[in-house]
Each structure stands twice: as structure tokens, then as C-alpha cells.
Chains A and B, each alone.
Chain A
Amino acid sequence: MTTVTTGKDPQSTEALDFVAPKADELAALFVGRSRPPRPSALSASLTFGWRAMLKIKHVPEQLFDVTAFPIMMVLMYTYLFGGALAGSVSEYVQFLLPGILVMSVVMITMYTGVSVNTDIEKGVFDRFRTLPIWRPAPMVGYLLGDVVRYLIASAVMLTVGVIIGYRPDGGIVGILLGVALLMVFSFAFSWIWTMFGLLLRSEKSVMGVSMMVIFPLTFLSNVFVDPKTMPGWLQAFVNNNPVTHLATAVRELMAGRWPGTDIVWVLGWSALFVLVFGWVTMRLYNRK
């Protein structure tokens, strides 16, 4: 092709610190290219998950909330309530650690909303949305990346717990089952945050709304104490709070028991969250 010219201004080309595009190379880029078939839903989602990993690699500071924050939570609550509530720290930590693990990870999920909110405003989302891929893939990829963050937080907290005297009867298997259930719930629950991330206009409002949801949900549960001493109306809320079911299920699994009813409740809540908030998220995403 002769229509292409480069280096119109030979004097200044020498002064450049980068190389201008070359016409023949450009032309060669287009010759005989066929388009590959579009990727599967899973492949596209995993690719977006890989993007989340790359972001962690480039901005490792963002791991602060899944390392320092959980350590602080474990130490603070164990020593704050330990003596008063259970007589001794080593006894209380057996009860508290699975609960505080659930509470911290559920709290960390709210950062998903903030990152969706800041990311969606950037030009790169326009490109994602013009790609012929499975529509929820960018959001699912986000959440898959976040699951890695939740796993890091869980590992950190369990390590600290074991150091200060947590000895679960369920052993490794119990711990892994408990963490697996926690991951399923957190993945499903995060769709609430992707919804708010797309719905609300600023990062600050996302934070504000997240607090409003997360505090009652995590504190009004059986994470810290057995709900039997609470007034009836509060018990009604606490006993039906998904976080209570999750905390019970994780606690029992780690203690080596099989809390069938609570597991079913947790999976049921998870399915509900994905269906409802996943659907709303995708509607907002397509309309944005």
C-alpha cells in the first residue's frame, strides 16, 4: 500500500526518544487474520480474575485490609471480651475465632463496591462493554479476584488464632470446609456491593451505605455472644440473620461437627443473593 507515509518531518525524528510506528509493519499486522471464536463464560471470567491479580501485583498496598485489619480484629476482640465473657482468653478464642473470621471477611467484602465504583468510571470499562463476551464476566472476575483476597484474610486470621491458642477439633479438614463455606457466602454476598458500586454516584456514598448494611448485619449476630440473653425481638433478628447461620456453620465445621441445617441456610441465602443482586447488578451494568 502506498497510501501510508511515516516520518513526514525527518528533522525531528532524530530528536525523538521513542520510535514512530512503521508503515510496513502496520500493514503486516492486518494481513490474513481470522478471528478466534469468542471465549467461554468461564474463560472470560477467569481472565478478569487475572486482571484483579495483576492489580494486586501493581498496587500491593491494597492488601492492607486483608492482612493488618484482620490481625487487629482478632487481637482486639479476643483480649477485649475474652476475660469478661468466657472467663479466660484461651477459652473465648475457641468460640470467637470462627465468628470473628466470618465477621472480618464479610466486612472486607464491602471494598468490592468501592473498587467497582471507581473502576467503572474509567475509560477501560467502555472497552470491556463493547467486547462480545459473556456480559457478567467483568463482575464475576472482580469477585473471583476478591475471593483470593478473602482467602488471604482467612489464612492470616487462622494463623494468628492458632498462635494465641485456637485449637479447633475439626483439624485441617474442618478448617478447610469452614473456609470454603465462607468463600461461597462471601462471593454471593458481594453482589450486593457490585450493585451499590454501580448504583451510587460516589465512592463516599458507597462507603456510607456499606456501613449501614454491614454493621447491623455483623454485630447483630451470634459472632460475639450466644443470643439467648438478648430480648425476644432482637433474638428474632439475630436468629434469622444470614451471618448468624454462617458463623454457626463455620464454627461447628471447624469444631469437627456437621451443622447440616445451618449449611443449607447459608447456601440458600447465597443462592438468593446471587439471583437477586446479581440480576440487579447486571441490569445496572447494561444500562450504565
Chain B
Amino acid sequence: MTTDLAIETEGLVKVFGTNRAVDGIDLRVPAGTVYGVLGPNGAGKTTAVRMLATLLRPDGGRASVFGRDVVREADAVRGRVSLTGQYASVDEDLTGTENLVLLARLLGHTRPDARARSGELLAAFGLAEAADKQVKNYSGGMRRRIDIAASILNTPDLLFLDEPTTGLDPRSRNQVWDIVRAVVAQGTTVLLTTQYLDEADQLAARIAVIDHGKVIAEGTKGELKASVGSGAVHVRLRDPEQRPEAERVLRSALNATVQLDPDPVALTATVDGHGTDLGAAEQAARALAELSRAGITVDNFALGQPSLDEVFLALTDRKGTTA
């Protein structure tokens, strides 16, 4: 029995027809943290979550939640998890209050307790005024909040958040993030799937990157970023005409891949520290000197850790070329 792991999967597989939606996923999610599952649309994130939440039966491998098998001990798993799906998992025909009272009753609360709990949650989630409106009249942000409220009627030990902010405006998204942080602060483990890198960056302690049903990278944010290089140099030129020349100079100076940004005057080069003892900052300084020696005017430059976006593109790209 491993009690420190909230989720453990081994070779988890789900096949739909000829599509191996989840193709052998191994995950170890430590309890009490936010674990991000990052991947593009159709990568298999939702399918994996549905198996872990006992909604889908795996076709291969095994998965356990707090040491309980999701197939053989599904009921024990259901007692400890909550799921907030990609689409609102509340009844749109019912009002906010009715939804929460219904679910609270199903969780075993008495009628007065269910009413009290639902009132508390609606107030805390800023939905008190909308309590007696049908959920189908709620805005996207309000729906997401009532959905999460429904998931924490009984504080779950593990909360699945499947793309909780997809389609939300930035402020609603920030509100959802605040709620997630509050939930985790109480000791709940959160498995968060997202296609937004900044969301994983903001919330998750560890991240698994999934593509084509497989985990292509896993680790802390720092580890993932370090895996594609120790840093990145962002350069802005004055003259877009000089960009091809700048690209050539940077590539030879840093011995690294150079990415042309959508902005015609911008380039990004990774500094990986291979084949040299110099630190990232020193390498970058030398590269800049090379640029000015070549007569290229640099307007602006920044040295930073690679963003998760860069990590993600590098990872999915690498896989695409080797597969």
C-alpha cells in the first residue's frame, strides 16, 4: 500500500476502434499537490481522466487511486474523488440551489444540511444572486464555478479538473485558479488537465506532457524547462532584413537551435550549455558581441528560462520527427 501517492497508473490503455486514445500511460501523482496533465486537443487527457474517475473501463494496464483499483474497487474510489468535466456536469434545467441540494442529498446529507451547505457554497462562489436561476442562464464563468462548487460539496481527497478554464475569459479564469489554490490549500490533490501552458505553469507542481496517448515528458516545471536547455535568449532586431544574418550568427555562436518568432524582428535561441563550461549568461553575452561585430543592431534582448510553451513545442516537435 502506497499512501503517499494519490494516483498510480501502469501501462494504462484505452482503445476506441483503431484509435489508441490512451496508449500506455504511467503516472505517479503525489498526494496533496496539483498535478498538471498537459497536451493538445485529442492527446488522450480526457480519456485518461475518465478512466481514473471510474467512468471508463481501461482496456489494458492498471490504475489505482489512493491504493484502490479503479475497476475492482470502483465504489471505494468514487467515495474519495470528484470530477469536474470539460462540459458543465450540472443539470442545466435546474437552478443553482436545486443542483447543489440534489447532489448533497445524494452524498448523504440530510435535507436541512443539504440546504445549508448549498447556501454556503453559492455565497462563497459569488452565486448567491443567481441561486434561483436555471443553470442554462448562467455565463460560462458562473457555470464553471457552480460545477466546482458541486465537486466540493464533500471535500474530496482527489479532484479531477478536466480543462477547467477552456473558453473562459481571463478574469473568470483567474477566479477558477483562486478556487483551485484554495482547494489544494486544504489538502485535496488536484489532477488538472489543460492545453494552456500558463495554466499548468501557474498551478501545477509537477507536469506530465501527453501527446498521442503517451507521456512524452514528466517532471517539475523546472525539470521540464531544463530538459530543453538551460535558458533562452530572446532578441529583437531593429531591421527585419537582418534577421537571416542574425539567425546564422546566433546559431554558430551558441551552437544551438534558433527559432524565428512570428514577429519579423524577433528570434529566440536556446542556450543549452553543451560543449562549453560557460554559463548561460556568459554565452548569451558572447553571442550578443558577435551580433554587434556582424553589424546587426539589437533593439532589445532578454535572457530567461524557456517558457513552457517552448518546452511543449520542442517536446511535441521532437516526437513528431522521430515517430
Task: State whether A36 and B113 are in contact (beta carbons under 8 Å apart), knowing that A6-B178, A123-B85 are contacts in the complex.
Answer: yes
Q: Which of chain A's residues 68-99 have a Cβ closer than 8 Å to chain B?
A: none
Q: How many residues of A contact B (CB 8 A)?
A: 50
CB of B244 within 8 Å of the partner chain:
no
Which of the listed residues A22, A59, A124 has the most CB atoms from chain B within 10 Å of its own CB?
A124
* Distance A143 CA – B75 CA, assembled complex (angstroms): 24
Does chain A have a CB within 8 A of B181?
A: yes
Q: Which of A19, A130, A287 contacts B81 (CB 8 A)?
A: A130
Of residues 1 through 20 on chain A, the ones whose CB sits less than 8 Å from some CB of chain B are 1, 3-6, 8-9, 12, 16, 18-20
* Closest CB in chain A relative to B159 CB, distance in Å: 11
Q: Could you tell me the distance between the alpha carbons of A258 and B160 in the complex, rounded to whole angstroms?
A: 57
Q: A residues within 8 A CB of B91? A: 51, 122, 124
Beta-carbon contacts of A24-59 to B below 8 Å, as 1s and 0s? 011111110101111100011001001100110011
Q: Is A211 an interface residue (CB 8 A)?
A: no
Q: Are A27 and B186 in contact (CB under 8 A)?
A: yes
Bitwise, B173-194 to A at CB < 8 A (1) or not (0) is 0110011011101100000000
In the assembled complex, the Cα of A219 lies from the Cα of B182 at a distance in Å of 62
Whole-angstrom distance between the Cβ of B254 and the nearest chain A Cβ: 37
A126 at the interface (CB under 8 A from B): yes
A-B interface pairs (CB < 8 A), number: 148
Would A21 and B54 count as touching, CB distance under 8 A?
A: no
Tell me if B247 counts as interface (CB < 8 A to partner A). no
Tell me whether B319 is interfacial, beta carbon within 8 Å: no
Q: Which residues of chain A come closer than 8 Å to B286, judged between CB atoms?
A: none
Given contacts A12-B171, A132-B75, whether A18 and B142 have CB atoms under 8 Å apart is yes
Would you call A129 an interface residue if the criterion is a C-beta within 8 Å of the partner chain's C-beta atoms? yes
A228 interface residue, CB < 8 Å from B? no
B301 within 8 Å of A by Cβ?
A: no
Cβ of B102 and Cβ of A132 under 8 Å apart? no
Cβ–Cβ < 8 Å partners of B185 in chain A: 1, 3-4, 27
Question: Whole-angstrom distance between the alpha carbons of A16 and B174 in the complex?
Answer: 14
Given the known interface contacts A18-B126, A130-B82, the answer about A26 and B54 at a Cβ–Cβ threshold of 8 Å is no
Bitwise, B131-164 to A at CB < 8 A (1) or not (0) is 0001000000010010000101011000000000
Contact A126-B106, Cβ < 8 Å, known A20-B175, A21-B126, A27-B182: no
Q: Which residues of B contact A129 (CB under 8 A)?
A: 54-55
**A31 to chain B: which residues have CB within 8 Å?**
186
B150: A residues at CB distance < 8 A? 127
Q: Of the candidates B53, B88, B175, which one forms a contact with A21 in the assembled complex, judged by CB atoms under 8 Å apart?
A: B175
* Chain A residues within 8 Å of B85, by CB: 123, 126-127
Nearest 4 A/B pairs, CB to CB: A36-B108, A25-B124, A19-B126, A30-B186
A-B contact pairs, 26 of them (CB 8 A): A5-B181, A18-B126, A21-B124, A21-B182, A25-B123, A26-B124, A30-B152, A30-B183, A30-B186, A33-B154, A35-B154, A36-B109, A38-B79, A47-B102, A51-B94, A54-B93, A54-B98, A58-B94, A123-B89, A124-B89, A126-B85, A127-B85, A127-B89, A130-B83, A131-B78, A132-B78
A-side interface residues toward B, CB under 8 Å? 1, 3-6, 8-9, 12, 16, 18-23, 25-31, 33, 35-39, 43-44, 47, 50-51, 54-55, 58-59, 122-124, 126-133, 137, 287
